């Protein structure tokens, strides 16, 4: 997965913004102000994605590329390494899952405000 493919895919989603809240090399994608994807631009070999806790365990057992989230809650975040046993399409599906988790956690007011 190339970082530009990931970036363009995330940005085409509704109400998404890209930010650098931690430093100038950690690109964070947010929906309605809440993070759903992080990638380090200094060494873009993986990304962190939010995940349902039960699904996170299953993915970690099934794929070498999926590990507990680096510098994140190990329960709710996975680090997905590129070019291992997940192809780009499968990674994009995990990005969709992360985005949907965050959107579904938003209040009705925020979903209405951001037209989600």
User: Which one is predicted more confidently, 116 or 49?
Assistant: 49
pLDDT value for 70: 84
Percent of the chain residues past pLDDT 70, beyond the cut? 100
Residues 14-24 have a mean pLDDT of 96
Query: In terms of residue numbers, what domain contains 53?
Result: 3-113
The CATH number of residue 73's host domain is 3.90.1150.30
Look at residue 43 and tell me whether its pLDDT is greater than 90: no
Q: Is residue 90 exposed (0-12), middle (13-18) or buried (19+ Cβ within 10 Å)? A: middle
- H or E segment and range at residue 19: strand 16-19
- H or E segment and range at residue 84: none
| Sign, CA torsion 7/10/12/18 | negative
- H or E segment and range at residue 30: strand 26-31
How many structural domains are present in the chain?
1
Look at residue 12 and tell me whether its pLDDT is greater than 90: yes
Residues 47-71 have a mean pLDDT of 95
CA 57 to chain centre: 16
Mean pLDDT of the chain: 95
Torsion of CA 88, 34, 103, 43, to 10 degrees: 0
| Sign, CA torsion 25/26/32/34 | negative
pLDDT value for 71: 84
Can you give the pTM of this predicted structure?
A: 0.94
DSSP 32-69: TTEEEEEEETTS-SEEEEE--HHHHHHHHHH-TTEEEP
């Amino acid at each position: 997965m190339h970082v530009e493919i990931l970036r363009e895919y995330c940005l085409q989603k509704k109400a998404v913004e890209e930010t650098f809240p931690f430093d100038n090399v950690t690109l964070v994608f947010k929906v309605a102000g809440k993070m759903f994807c992080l990638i380090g631009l200094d060494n873009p070999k993986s990304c962190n994605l939010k995940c349902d806790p039960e699904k996170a365990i299953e993915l970690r057992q099934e794929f070498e590329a999926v590990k507990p989230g680096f510098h994140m809650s190990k329960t709710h975040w996975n680090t997905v390494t590129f070019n291992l046993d997940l192809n780009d399409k499968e990674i994009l599906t995990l990005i969709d899952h992360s985005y949907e988790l965050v959107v579904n956690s938003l209040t009705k007011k925020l979903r209405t405000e951001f037209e989600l």
